[in-house]
C-alpha cells in the first residue's frame, strides 16, 4: 500500500489515481479515503489526478495515541502535499475534513493550492455558544462519545440513518450506504473517534477562513442533521472572501454518496474543477 511517514513518524495511507492537475480529497469522521471512491474515479476519468488519504487513526493509517487535533491533521496534510510535491491543487473536503482544509490554509497558506471545495463542512464552529446560537449543544457531543464508548458497532448502525437522511420521508438512501458507513467507521480507532468528536466540536476556524484567497465553493444540504447549515455553511460563506454557496434543498450530510444528491454534487465538482 502507498504510505508516507509524517514528521512525527506516523504512517499515512493514501491512494493516487489518474494524472493531471491534482485534486486532494479529505474525508469526514468516522470514515476514510474510500468514502471518496466515486469522486476519485470521476476526476481521474476527466483528466485529473485524484488523491485521498486516511487520516491518522482512521482506515489503513497508523493509530497513534495522540495527535487528534486540527493543527496535527493540517500538518499531516501538508506532509502529503509536500512529499508528493503537489502544486496547483484543488482541495475537496467533507464534514470534519473541512476543518482540516481550513486549518491547513490557516497554517500553510495557499502557495500550492488553487481552489477549495467545502462539502457539508464544520467551519467556522460546530459548538453552540452565546456567539454561535445556531450550533450543536455540548450535550449532543457528549452523547456521541458515550455511545461510542458503550458499544461502538451498534452506535454506528444507529447513527447512520441521520448521517444520510434515511430517517426522512422520500429519501433515496440505500442499504449499501448504511452498510458501507458502518464498515468504514469500524476501521477508525476508538481513541481517534472520541478525540475527534472533541476536536470538531470545539475548534474555531474563523481566523483560518479569513485567510482564504482562492476560489472557494461551499456545498451544503439544508436538511443536514449532523452539521447544521446555519451554524456552518452559511456563516463560512460570509467569512471566506468571494465564496460561492450552493444549498441543496432537502439534502443530507452524506451528499457525496446518496443517490440523487451524489449525481448533482459530481456535476458541480466537475464544473468547479473545469472552471
Domain-wise residue ranges, the chain: 3-274
Q: Which three cell numbers stand for residue 98?
A: 473541512
Mean pLDDT of the 103-125 span:
98
Report how far apart the first and last C-alpha atoms of the chain are (Å, whole number): 33
Distances (CA, A) of 97 to 77, 110, 115, 234: 10, 17, 15, 17
**3-274 adopts what CATH topology?**
Rossmann fold (3.40.50)
Minimal CA–CA distance to 258: which of 38, 11, 17, 8?
38
Q: Could you give the residue numbers annotated as active site?
A: 95, 224, 253
Using DSSP bridges, classify how beta strands 11-18 and 48-53 pair: parallel, antiparallel or unpaired. Answer: antiparallel
Sequence-distant (≥ 6) Cβ neighbours of residue 58 within 8 angstroms:
27, 30, 31, 32, 187, 188, 189, 192
Reported as a pLDDT band with limits 50, 70 and 90, residue 244 is very high
**Residue 40: predicted pLDDT:** 98
The CA distance from 223 to 84, in Å, is 37
* Mean pLDDT on 196-220: 98
pLDDT band for position 104 (cuts 50, 70, 90): very high
Answer yes or no: pTM beyond 0.85: yes
Of all residues in the chain, what percent carry a pLDDT higher than 90? 100
Digit-coded pLDDT (tens) for 21-58: 999 999 999 999 999 999 999 999 999 999 999 999 99
Amino acid at each position: 500500500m502507498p504510505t508516507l511517514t509524517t514528521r512525527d513518524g506516523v504512517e499515512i495511507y493514501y491512494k493516487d489515481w489518474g494524472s493531471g492537475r491534482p485534486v486532494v480529497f479529505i474525508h469526514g469522521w468516522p470514515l476514510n479515503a474510500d468514502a471518496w471512491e466515486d469522486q476519485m474515479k470521476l476526476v481521474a476519468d476527466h483528466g485529473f489526478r485524484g488523491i485521498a488519504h486516511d487520516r491518522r487513526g482512521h482506515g489503513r493509517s497508523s493509530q497513534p495515541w495522540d495527535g487528534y487535533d486540527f493543527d496535527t491533521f493540517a500538518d499531516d496534510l501538508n506532509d502529503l502535499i509536500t512529499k508528493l510535491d503537489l502544486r496547483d491543487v484543488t482541495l475537496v473536503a467533507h464534514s470534519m475534513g473541512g476543518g482540516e482544509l481550513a486549518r491547513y490554509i490557516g497554517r500553510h497558506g495557499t502557495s500550492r493550492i488553487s481552489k477549495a471545495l467545502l462539502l457539508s463542512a464544520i467551519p467556522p464552529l460546530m459548538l453552540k455558544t452565546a456567539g454561535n446560537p445556531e450550533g450543536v449543544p455540548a450535550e449532543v457531543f457528549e452523547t456521541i462519545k458515550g455511545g461510542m464508548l458503550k458499544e461502538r458497532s451498534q452506535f454506528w448502525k444507529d447513527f447512520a440513518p441521520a448521517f444520510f437522511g434515511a430517517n426522512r420521508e422520500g429519501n433515496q438512501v440505500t442499504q449499501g450506504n448504511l452498510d458501507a458507513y458502518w464498515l468504514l467507521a469500524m476501521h477508525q480507532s476508538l481513541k481517534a473517534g472520541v478525540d475527534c468528536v472533541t476536536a470538531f466540536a470545539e475548534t474555531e476556524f474563523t481566523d483560518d477562513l479569513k485567510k482564504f484567497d482562492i476560489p472557494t465553493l461551499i456545498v451544503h444540504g439544508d436538511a443536514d442533521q449532523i452539521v447544521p447549515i446555519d451554524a456552518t455553511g452559511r456563516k463560512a460563506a460570509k467569512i471566506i472572501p468571494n465564496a460561492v454557496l450552493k444549498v441543496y434543498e432537502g439534502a443530507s450530510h452524506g451528499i457525496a454518496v446518496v443517490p440523487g444528491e451524489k449525481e448533482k454534487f459530481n456535476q458541480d465538482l466537475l464544473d468547479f474543477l473545469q472552471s
